[in-house]
Amino acid sequence: VRIFAKRALLPNGWASNVTIDVAGATIAQVAAERDARSATEFVGTLVPGMPNLHSHAFQRAMAGHGERRASGRDDFWSWREAMYALALELGPVELHRIALATYRAMLRAGYTAVAEFHYIHRDPRGEWYADKCAASEALVCAAREAGIAICLLPALYSQAAPDGTPLGERQRRFATSAEDVLEIAAALRSRFAGDESVVVGACGHSLRAVTLRGFATLLEGSPRNCPVHVHVAEQEREVAEVEAAFGARPVELLVRSFDVNERWCLVHATQTTEAELASIAGSGAVAGLCPTTEANLGDGLFGLEAYLEAGGALGIGSDSNVSISPPEELRLLEYGQRLLHRRRILGAAGGRACGEALYALSAAGGARACGLRAGAIAPGLRADLVELPSGDDLEGAVVERTSAPQADPLDRYLFADVRAAPARVMAGGAWRA
């Protein structure tokens, strides 16, 4: 297949009249300033597909249900009770059905890969299914059916609080030892061996829910190159609990205890000091930001400006799936900073347009967090491509005002075309939406 794009975002920036040769699931060749004659497919403006580096697919089933304030104080912790009630109801069949619909919605929105952070391992009574991988496999099968690449992250979840409090009754389906998780991960790797759209990572739920020893055992038993994910510092109470138990804040503790490096994805690095942000940036780890969920739960704002100044890597995730939209995540990320600092941060320095900088950074960081060769339009990477909406109404406005320079296509996509879905989405070399 040879695709001809009028404009495409390549690693060095925008290029015109670009041909992209796709062989199987991979981009074979990219060339700019070509003519369209040899092409088989014609598109307008093309950008890389966006990896979604943090999802709990099952939570899509409660999207829109948690918006009524139940008690005096409604926050992450009261929301979590509602989430537990849902988690207790779903078997592998329901998980598969919800995940399939959710992954299809992700593709329509321009996500071309998903890191599924999965912790419902046992049956509703808290016993293992005859096949320990039953729930994990339901999610991988849903992703394959939808056509989205998946990094499945079977989570280690072994205690209720950093002081070693045992799991509660309502957490019985999550209970795993490092050995359980290693067994599930190894079985999944062998069942899906040869499918490059399936990656299996190593995952500790959070520093609340794992012991340092258990997490270390999991990491030692996992392949050296696999992605490592952990919820790191979502809540102030979580930071206080970790500090009380270990005398260190979560990011400090993590960096002190493990070789945190570019394989790591630290999800919700929300409650972090500037020193912690600098240490994440210096480690090469990807900060996993989930602006719509973090806003929905009232978590707080990530220290984006300090983090980008320190050269940090980042990506975005739809997390609770209350919203499934890359532009909405990125717009909220940027707007949160502008409201916080009462000035424009403009994503990143370097003279690039804000939308382009945020989008390209998130695509590259997200691909790394998913363990996929993806996240840009370049030879050798997965053919994950998004054709931006044509934005005809805005074109009209520009024609009226002929002296205005054309808006950067990604600035328009993220900030002005807020309701427009991508025109087409290719994942792994096939048009999926």
Binding site for Zn ion (CB under 5 A): 319
| Nearer to Zn ion among residue 19 and residue 321 (C-beta) | 321
Calculate the alpha carbon distances from 423 to 131, 259, 370, 387 in Å.
Answer: 40, 42, 25, 5
Amino acid at the residue 378: A
| Nearer to Zn ion among residue 45 and residue 292 (C-beta) | 292
Q: CB 111 → Zn ion: shortest distance, Å?
A: 16
How many whole angstroms separate alpha carbon 256 and alpha carbon 351? Answer: 36
The continuous run of DSSP H or E covering 359 comes out as helix 354-370
For 55, the token pair is: 């999802």
| Nearer to Zn ion among residue 238 and residue 319 (C-beta) | 319
Q: CB 54 → Zn ion: shortest distance, Å?
A: 6
Which residues belong to the active site?
A: 268, 319
| Nearer to Zn ion among residue 118 and residue 122 (C-beta) | 118
What are the backbone angles phi and psi of residue 156, rounded to the nearest 5°? -75, 130
Q: CB 63 → Zn ion: shortest distance, Å?
A: 14
| Nearer to Zn ion among residue 319 and residue 334 (C-beta) | 319
Q: Where are the alpha helices (DSSP H) in 38-75?
A: none
Q: CB 115 → Zn ion: shortest distance, Å?
A: 10
How many whole angstroms separate alpha carbon 152 and alpha carbon 135? Answer: 11
User: Is there a contact between 387 and 394 (Cβ–Cβ < 8 Å)?
Assistant: no
Query: 285: which DSSP letter?
Result: P
For the stretch 35-66, what's the b/e string if a residue is b when 16 or more beta carbons lie within 10 angstroms of its beta carbon? eeeebeeebbbbbbbbbbbbbbbbbbbbbeeb
Amino acid at the residue 293: T
